[in-house]
Chains A and B, each alone.
Chain A
């Protein structure tokens, strides 16, 4: 990951986070809201790995929490774990798979919703499980619709890594 790549990823996630809180959060379709920041994070994490994914998730969460004057750290916590998990998937099983972005988006949308629900529940705040369940399917569908163009844009900005770049750790068995 070069400095220019880092800058591009940061700019991309910054724009996505601002668009999320100011534009996309208004688009309620059957109770679901498209999560462009999550979809962008999936793209960045798949293309740049777990480490970048975790840092990118933390950064995007911080921007959202700051812009919304919400509880600092809440979105960062869930997005950091999400970014790391997607990055690991991209480095291992999901490598070179065409369906990886779509599968990641579907799974991470599900996990993100329940992650946020869990944090709210643990903080003793209202955690409307029923409402989250009802909005989950439309949210996944909308996120999947966003995945194609968003991933394409991320791929244009962040060139996929060379095959040799993936092997960062080798463990000898036996």
Chain B
């Protein structure tokens, strides 16, 4: 009898917590209490990550050695290509800056020069199919706010969807709820980056009459209308197109994108906070 009563009470408390948490996920007393709780747990999480790191590094080292030879040839070729491309880009940037000055062109914060990177360790990882979120070791005390874009050294990772005092939750690009306005760097085709199968991404909403090629770079599209500032500044690299397909019954192209950031094995990330926040219109 006592057992059942305790079970009933615990289930009711859990349901009450769930209801309150679901109704106000980013504010309220419960959110504040959870945030303080997360602050208290943070040292334990950091310690656990540090304990596990040597083992993880050892595994990555062995894994890297096994793949190093084949990767080396591929990388050498890529470096040659990029060197040539970098020269062309440098000249284009110079020209672009001159044109902007001539036109007195105004724009929002530019990535990366107008952003301050708040570097943070990842202290909790997504487990299972439901959660594609990580917890990072920095929160509102460091200047992070809701919707702050988060990148790794390779490219876009996601955005902040929950902020505590010293920790934040980052919803990854591979989360089913994630949608990032993006564009093809070469053909200027725009679409929405959503999660795809097996850790890849999909450039969605690209109509069949538009052209996207295999190997094209996909970057964030940035602000389109100043009244609705975009969460992601223009130009953050997202990934590379690995396949483009179409079918008779589908309304849009199926553009599969391989993310640049290795989202499944993040150690540290950088949250991008504007150096000079724009005044609200």
Q: Which residues of A contact B (CB under 8 A)?
A: 14, 18-26, 28, 31, 33, 35, 49-51, 54-55, 57-58, 61, 63, 65-74, 76-77, 80-81, 84, 113, 116-117, 119-120, 123, 125-128, 131-132, 135, 139, 169
Given contacts A55-B10, A73-B17, A128-B129, contact A66 B3 (CB under 8 A): no
B61 at the interface (CB under 8 A from A): no
CB–CB B41/A18 < 8 A: yes
CB pair B20 A72 closer than 8 Å? yes
- Considering only residues 15-34 of chain B, those with a C-beta below 8 Å from chain A are 15-22, 25, 30, 34
Task: Known A72-B17, A120-B130; judge A66-B34 contact (CB<8 A).
Answer: yes
Report the stretch among B109-117, B119-127, B203-211, B212-220 that lies at the interface.
Answer: B119-127
Name the interface size band of chain B. 35 or more
Q: Given the known A-B contacts A69-B162, A126-B176, are A25 and B127 also in contact in the complex, defined by CB atoms under 8 Å?
A: yes
B6 close to A74 (CB less than 8 A): no
B44 touches A81 (CB 8 A): no
Q: Are the CB atoms of B7 and A80 closer together than 8 Å? A: yes
* Contacts from B to A (Cβ < 8 Å): 1-3, 6-7, 10-11, 13-22, 25, 30, 34-35, 37-38, 41, 44-45, 48-49, 51-52, 56, 123-131, 133, 135, 162, 164, 167-169, 176-177, 264-265
Q: Are B130 and A116 in contact (CB under 8 A)?
A: yes
A–B Cβ pairs within 8 angstroms, 23 of them: A14-B44, A22-B124, A25-B125, A26-B56, A35-B127, A51-B2, A54-B3, A54-B10, A58-B10, A66-B34, A67-B45, A67-B124, A69-B169, A70-B133, A74-B14, A76-B14, A77-B18, A80-B7, A123-B22, A125-B130, A128-B130, A139-B128, A169-B1
Instruction: State A80–B15 Cα separation when bound (angstroms).
Output: 11
Whether B15 and A73, one on each chain, are in contact in the complex, defined by CB atoms closer than 8 angstroms, is yes
**Complex formed: what's the CA distance from A139 to B16 in Å?**
30
**Which residues of chain B come closer than 8 Å to A67, judged between CB atoms?**
38, 41, 45, 124, 135
Residue of A21, A24, A71 near B25 (CB, 8 A) is A71
For the complex, give the distance between the alpha carbons of A168 and B16 in Å: 31
Q: A69-B35, A73-B21, A81-B11 are in contact. Are A33 and B128 (CB under 8 A)?
A: yes
**Could you tell me the distance in whole angstroms from the C-beta of B20 to the nearest C-beta in chain A?**
7
Least CB distance from A54 to B in Å reads 5
Bound together, the chains give a CA A160 to CA B129 distance in angstroms of 35
A84 near B127 with CB under 8 A, answer no
Q: How far, in whole Å, are A70 and B6 apart by their CA atoms in the complex? A: 24
Among A65, A127, A139, max chain B CB count under 10 A is at A65
Q: How far is the CA of A130 from the CA of B232 in the complex (A)?
A: 31
User: Which A residues lie within 8 Å of B56 (CB)?
Assistant: 26
List, in ascending order, chain B residues with CB within 8 A of A26's CB: 52, 56, 125, 265
Question: How many angstroms from the CA of A65 to the CA of B167 in the assembled complex?
Answer: 13
Q: How far is the CB of B17 from chain A (nearest CB, A)?
A: 3
Q: Are A73 and B133 in contact (CB under 8 A)?
A: no
6 smallest CB-CB distances across A and B, nearest first, come from A73-B17, A73-B18, A25-B127, A131-B129, A22-B48, A126-B176
Residue with the highest number of chain A CB atoms closer than 10 Å, among B13, B48, B127, B162: B127
A66 touches B37 (CB 8 A): yes
Among residues of A, the one whose C-beta sits closest to the C-beta of B123 is: A22
In contact, B52 and A22 (Cβ under 8 angstroms) = yes
- Residue contact A77 to B130, C-beta cutoff 8 Å: no
A80, chain B: closest CB distance, angstroms: 5
The interface centre, meaning the residue of A31, A50, A54, A116 with most chain B CB atoms within 10 A of its CB, is A54
The reply to whether B17 and A76 form a contact with Cβ atoms under 8 Å apart is: yes
Q: A61-B14, A77-B11 are in contact. Are A70 and B131 (CB under 8 A)?
A: yes
Q: Which of B35, B130, B168 has the most CB of A within 10 A?
A: B130
Complexed CA–CA distance, A76 and B12 (Å): 11
A132 to B264, CA, bound (A): 17
Docked complex Cα distance between A138 and B70 (Å): 30
Question: A58 to B17, alpha carbons, bound, how many Å?
Answer: 12
